[in-house]
Chains A and B, each alone.
Chain A
């Protein structure tokens, strides 16, 4: 039972963190940036491994974080300088970086003990045995839970303190600049937050589930509400629900946990889409009475 608790908690932490950032990504029409970053971190991990010779969390996080940021810079650079559409520059950048990672892994295959499947799909089932044991031998519980809790705290604080700026730079960048709010600064802060989240999450849940959590819950919430704060709240609740349901679905089917969580994310979106299509959102003609 305690195993189920740790796995669901890990899934929920990732889902809530990714979802809240994803809300701003989809509103900025940059959904695929998460996809890009989660793939682009591969060469960073390999290089960090080659340099440090270990699979400790810190060098991995640094390497992955660095290539994640390089990817965002490249995407922005191609978009601004070459006038390339954002989606095209995302496509070019992440496939290239991911390919570099694959070449590095295959080229040094004998020396590297890295599992490509693990990068893509992660292994959330191993979270409960990845324990944090202190110097005097006390078992503090799974290590990823601590890391992910810290990341959730950082991201929540970032969104709470920067809510105004994130909202305005997403909605009307020209007006934000006219007020003296730097759109570039907030763009890179958001991208740094996405990099940090992706990199710290994918070790336990894998790149695919990170992408599912980045886009699925916010897209579902977007269908359900017309209010940004509500959208963030619905996303968070949905994330916890998905982690819980996904785990028990996997338990029942004896299937991949990450796969089931991603599938439940898709099912939630479909359910929201179908139910809201039958009950349309209030249209201007339907509610002409004065409000407020």
Chain B
């Protein structure tokens, strides 16, 4: 089931991606409206990160195309930000927190020039937004997992983009950091920016996202949470995975017996 939007900021058309000739994503086709927080959900090995990397042009697709703001990525790169998985980098690298956030400015600064006073100010503002202003000069190996994720987020904010792709920003962070990040995502969406997040936890998905892309190598569903994230669709995406079915059961149980706050 695919619910398309009338004026899409992201259009993924019939995207197929393969690793050494073995397809991992088949004919993915969906659109996203501006100003939404979208979640890419699916079991392990469903191709969630691959989809994100393919949209960012890091993995060339075998067929299909991606359009952002109705243009190919190359034309609108400066308006698009990407947050890789936290584990993908070496946190012993000799740079400070501020250095990492300044990297978000590199696209704007351009070749052969170095970052200036204005870039520094923006970087410091972004660190404040994620509550890391006290750690500016700290070397990145001395940060906790949640703090590392906040630094990555600050770097993305420093790009001043209109479209954000985040690969598992909630992986291995504490509840406080998770709430900070969710709050930021909401603020960004309210400001008309679009955020796409790869996410694992089925229970929080309904609360965090207003658009869902349910994936299991094929596209299972894409659309507003209320329509695309139904029990039947979740079961189809996670079907056959016993350990996950119990989690699905938990979600359904929660819906059958809503907690008092709701």
Chain A residues with a Cβ under 8 A of chain B? 27, 161-165, 167-168, 170-172, 174-175, 177-181, 222, 225-228, 230-231, 282-284, 290-292
Contacts and interface: CB of A to CB of B under 8 A. Distances in A.
Contacts of B3: none
B193 to A, nearest CB: 16
A170 B93 contact: yes
B109 to A, nearest CB: 7
A158 to B, nearest CB: 11
Contacts of B103: 167-168, 171-172, 175
Interface in B137-152: 137-139, 141-144
Contact of B57 (A162, A177, A228): A177
Interface stretch (B128-136, B174-182, B234-242, B247-255): B128-136
A181 B135 CA distance: 28
B93 A180 contact: no
B136 A291 contact: yes
Contacts of A230: 94
Contacts of A283: 142
B246 interface: no
A174 B74 CA distance: 16
B53 interface: yes
B56 A284 contact: no
B106 A179 contact: yes
Contacts of A180: 74, 77, 107
5 contacts: A167-B99, A171-B103, A174-B58, A177-B57, A179-B77
A156 B1 CA distance: 57
A200 B216 CA distance: 54
Contacts of B226: none
Interface in B51-74: 53, 56-58, 74
Contacts of A175: 82, 84, 103, 155
A222 B107 CA distance: 28
Given A163-B114, A282-B142, A172 B89 contact: yes
B96 interface: yes
B112 interface: yes
B95 interface: yes
A222 B144 CA distance: 21
Contacts of A162: 112
Nearest to A179: B107
A170 B95 CA distance: 11
Contact of B141 (A165, A226, A231, A291): A226
Contacts of A225: 94
B207 interface: no
Interface string B98-142: 111001001101011011000000000000000001111111011
A291 B133 CA distance: 8
Interface residues of B, number: 40
Nearest to A163: B114
A292 B114 contact: no
B84 A226 contact: no
A291 B95 contact: no
Interface in B79-97: 80-82, 84, 88-90, 93-96
Nearest to B95: A228
B45 to A, nearest CB: 18
Contacts of B94: 27, 222, 225-228, 230-231
Contact of A171 (B56, B89, B109): B89
Given A178-B56, A284-B143, A171 B93 contact: yes
Residue in A161, A180, A230 whose Cβ sees the most chain B Cβ within 10 Å: A180
Nearest to A232: B94
A289 B7 CA distance: 49
A174 B56 CA distance: 9
Contacts of B142: 282-284
Instruction: Give me the 5 closest cross-chain CB pairs, A-B, nearest first.
Output: A290-B134, A292-B136, A226-B139, A178-B82, A179-B107
Given A178-B58, A290-B133, 14 more contacts: A27-B93, A163-B114, A164-B106, A167-B95, A171-B93, A171-B100, A172-B84, A174-B53, A177-B57, A178-B80, A179-B107, A226-B96, A227-B95, A292-B137
B198 to A, nearest CB: 14
B106 A174 contact: no
A269 B93 CA distance: 19
Nearest to A171: B93
A37 B114 CA distance: 31
A174 B84 contact: yes
A164 B93 contact: no
Nearest to A222: B94
**Interface core residue of A27, A179, A231 (most chain B CB under 10 Å):** A179
A63 B81 CA distance: 44
B127 to A, nearest CB: 9
A60 B130 CA distance: 56
